[in-house]
Each structure stands twice: as structure tokens, then as C-alpha cells.
Amino acid sequence: MASVRARATLGATAVVAVALLAAGLLLLNTLRANVTQQIGVEAEVSARGVATELAAGTTFEDLNLDSDTPVQVLDGDGRVRAVSDDLEAITGTGQPDVTSRGAGLSTHDLDDDDDDDDDAPGEAERGEVSEHATMSTGTATIDGDTDDYRFARVEVVGDTGVEAVVFAGAPLDVEQAAVSGARGSMLVGFPLVLALVAVVTWLVTRRALGPVEGIRREMAAITHSEDLSRRVPEPASRDEIGRLARTTNETLAALESSVERQRRFVADASHELRSPIASLRTQLEVGEAHPELLDVSGAVQDTVRLQVLAADLLLLARLDAGERPVAGAVRLDRLVADETGQRTGDRLPIDVGDLPELTVDGSRGQLARVLGNLLDNGQRHAAGRVRVTLRGEGDQAVLEVADDGAGVPEEDRERIFERFVRLDDARGRDEGGAGLGLAIARDVAVRHGGTLTVSRAPEGGALFTLRLPTGDAAGGTDV
């Protein structure tokens, strides 16, 4: 069943049906038990009435037996001594005989026949009715009509010690009528209740799932049109569906931003690659036509620049793909010493302060790329000095690269970490690069669980601060 509404309606209706069935059976059993108990009480009252007369010394033939109630009186030997008028047949008492054999006999006469039993009065004492009554179910035919009855059995001992058992019945038609009426009402009412539950569930689920269908239609339209600027409708409710709509819109916004960033990246990369490729082609074409005019050093510079740009683009693509840095312990003090030691012949010298032994987890190659980009940026913009410091702060290693150049305006301190961004004083491609170095540095820092920020240096230029979480054990294996 493809429809959630249909499944919800079917499930709710099935649950209610099971509950109604269980409740109905319990109600019928309770009703039957209560009515049967009441009928049993009625039968016991009738039986005790007859037993009380016998206990008072009334003879069997003088008993007042209601013709509308089946009554059977037996002696201690199980012989029928008295029956109610018009009783034609009886079952359920253990004695189907309805022929009275007590005519003309009194309890005194019966006592003469049972002299040996004077000291064995049974459950009740002489002249008393037993406190306990037992119940049974059977039928009785009175004046040609046969019905079901609930019989009460009461034992009695006359004042002369005569034992007798009285069976008196009460009709079960009341119980049958009550149970039948309740069953009929359930058979009529239960389907109506189930139909009402199904209709209400269908309407409620339609109203509840209406926004979901709206979200689905809009998502289908977005997929068809490929327009990521569209958003799904957000219901005013604060329930799960409202949160689903808001999360969906947030996802669409993130996807739109990612796609837009990817498009801009491709466009900027194409633009940046076109310039060195065109320059290199021009030089090669000139060299082919006029070998004496070939600028070999310029061609090499353009090739190196193209190689660096291709490497930067490849690293950014790997970072965008979610590549995690290779796990390993990196000694930052050794890394700084190695990177600065390779720049002894650069235009500007690099001042390196004390290098405490600090270890971080990550990729040595990527962290070296970060430091190299920061040093390149510092040497490009410094007036005469670049300074590198390393220190530990709690569970973090702090690496700072400062210069004495013009610095970075406060409003541009976040923008310079965007890809292909060059400030006005660094737009020349020969001096400013492609604008990928700082973007790569921040991405690598974030991938290593750290941060990279820029502020004003004491020297007046830019101060780049790289913070990385230190490793579990300093002095580990350098990678």
C-alpha cells in the first residue's frame, strides 16, 4: 500500500477494532456473569423459602410451591417428595422424575422410617437450612413451555431430623435477552465506530500530511527545473513537518551555495589558467618562428606558475571532496626550522624566535604548505622584515607569521581567505599570485581542527595566527 494515509488509516482502524473486540468480549462476559449471579440469587431465595417451610415442620404436601417457578424437593434418598404445579419435565437437578411421592406423608412419618439416622443430620442441624447453596443449569417444562433455568440446591433438616434437598429455578431468559441485546448493539455500533475512526483518521492524516505533499511537489519541481534558488513551503507549525521543511530549505541553501561556489571556482580557475597558458603559447610560437627571440626564462616562469596553480587547484579539489589529513605526529618546531632554512636566499630575511618542542596531529606536507603560503604572503607584502614565532597555549600550539608591510584592512580580513581574492594592491598576477594561498591555508587549518586568523601586527603589518590542537605526546615520530 503506497499511501501513508491509507496505511495510517488501516492501522488505526485495526487497532481500534482489536480494542473494541476485546472490550466487547469483556463486557459480554461481565454482563453474563452479573445477570447469571442475579438469577442465581433469585433461585436461591426461592429454594430457601421452600427449605424454610420444611425446617418449620411443614409437610411436603402442604408446601406452597409457585406454579411459575420450577421446584423439586427430594428426600435424603433422592426420591421426589414434592414438585411445583404444572412441572412436566426437568433437567439439571440430577433427578429427572417430576412425579411426587410425598402425598399424605409428613415429616414425622418420614422420621419413623429413619430412626437409625437421628444422629446424622447432614450439613444442617435439625430445624435449620444449610447456609451453602450450589448452582446448576438445566431446563424445565412448565405447562408445555420449555425454557432454560438456573437452579439453586439447598439442603434442609426438618425439626424431626428429616433430610431433604430443595431445587428451585429462576429463568435464564433475562440473561439471554440482556446478552443478546448487548451483542446486537455491538454488532451495529462497532462497524459505525470503526467507520468513524477510519474517516477521522483519513481526514486528520490528509491535513497533517498536506504540507509533506507540498514539499514533495516543490522538490520535484526544483529537480526538474534545476533551480536551486527555489524553496519548499514552510508551515507555520513547530512540529516535525515544520522542522522537516526548514531543514530541507537549509539543505537547499547549502547546496545552492556549494554549486555556486563550484561554478565560481571553475570560472576563476579557467580564467587563471588561461593567462599563463596564453603567455606560454605566445612565447613558444615566437620561439618557433624566431629562435633567437625565445625567452626561455619567461617560459620557465610561466610553466612553474602553471604547475603551482594546477597543484593548488588539485589540493582544493581534494579538500572540497572531504579528504582528511594523513594521521601522524608533526613536530612544529622542526617544520618551522626546515621551511625557514630553505629561504636563506629570499628577497627578505625571516626572523625566527625560540622554537619550543610542540607536536600536533596531522599531515606534515599539508602543514608545510600552510606555513609556506604564510611566508610567501609575508615576504610579498613586507617592507623589510618577516617574523615567525611558535609557542604553546594550554592544549594548543600557536604559530604566528608577522610582517611590517601595510597590513590588511579590517573589513577585508575575512575576505582574503576566499578563493581567487586579491586586494587592490596585489592584483598583479606576477606579484599577487592567483589568490589561492590563504584559502588553502585556512582550509587545511580547519581540516586539522584548528583556526587561521589575521590581525594587526606590532610591526604595523599583517599578523597571521595559526592555532592547532597539540598531540597526546610531545616528541612523537615526525611525519
Reduced to 3 states (helix: H, G, I; strand: E, B; else coil), residue 46 is: helix
Q: Half-sphere exposure (CA, 13 Å, Cβ side) for 2?
A: 0
Closest alpha carbon to 168 in 76, 77, 52, 59 = 52
Closest alpha carbon to 449 in 413, 396, 401 = 396
Whether pTM exceeds 0.85:
no
| Model confidence pLDDT, tens digit, residues 175-225 | 888 888 988 999 999 999 999 999 998 888 888 888 888 888 888 888 888
Tell me what pLDDT residue 125 has: 57
| Model confidence pLDDT, tens digit, residues 335-356 | 999 988 888 777 788 899 889 9
In the sheet that holds 128-142, the strands lie side by side as 80-83, 71-75, 163-171, 145-157, 128-142, 87-90
How many Å is the Cα radius of gyration of the chain?
53
According to DSSP, the β-strands at 359-361 and 396-403 are unpaired
Q: Are 358 and 470 in contact (CB under 8 A)?
A: yes
Element (H, E) at 219: helix 173-225
Which residues fall within 8 angstroms of residue 198, CB to CB, at 6 or more apart? Answer: 9, 12, 13
Q: Half-sphere exposure (CA, 13 Å, Cβ side) for 475?
A: 0
Average pLDDT over the chain reads 83
Q: How many angstroms from the chain centroid is the CA of residue 457?
A: 53
Q: Are 360 and 367 in contact (CB under 8 A)?
A: yes
| Model confidence pLDDT, tens digit, residues 80-120 | 999 998 889 999 998 898 887 654 344 444 444 444 444 43
Q: Half-sphere exposure (CA, 13 Å, Cβ side) for 473?
A: 5
Look at the block and give the residue holding cell 412441572. Answer: 87
